[in-house]
């Protein structure tokens, strides 16, 4: 599958979305660290240096943009960030026929 195993920090507050993305990443051969809050993500970043941070931009208290700014300007490493707006896995869209 994946010749090199990447460590990815997944920052997502919705447990269903987090589980879905985690399962996909693991299936693709990556190692995954998880955080449900910005504070938890900062702690994880102090413990390990991921190759990528997948960040839900809709996180609140503190907002996810605080983590993105901390990574970009306040942290000594240059970890890439991919920010996305999550959809609700618990309420799939309704389609009309």
Given a cut of 80, is residue 25 above it in pLDDT? yes
Of 4 and 40, the one with more pLDDT: 40
SS3 of residue 83 by DSSP: strand
Whole-number average pLDDT of the chain? 77
Query: What are the φ/ψ torsions at residue 15 (nearest 5 degrees)?
Result: -60, -35
Q: What confidence score (pLDDT) does residue 45 get?
A: 87
Given a cut of 90, is residue 34 above it in pLDDT? yes
Q: What confidence score (pLDDT) does residue 4 get?
A: 75
Domain topology for 7-84: Rossmann fold (3.40.50)
Of 14 and 76, the one with more pLDDT: 14
Q: What confidence score (pLDDT) does residue 5 get?
A: 85
Domain boundaries, given as residue ranges, for the chain: 7-84
């Amino acid at each position: 599958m994946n010749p090199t195993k990447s460590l990815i920090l997944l920052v997502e507050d919705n447990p269903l979305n987090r589980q879905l993305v985690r399962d996909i990443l693991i299936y693709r051969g990556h190692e995954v660290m998880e955080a449900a809050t910005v504070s938890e993500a900062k702690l994880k970043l102090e413990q390990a240096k991921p190759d990528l941070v997948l960040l839900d931009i809709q996180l609140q208290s503190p907002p996810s943009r605080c983590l993105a700014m901390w990574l970009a300007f306040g942290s000594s490493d240059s970890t890439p960030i991919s920010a996305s707006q999550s959809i609700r896995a618990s309420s799939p869209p309704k389609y009309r026929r």
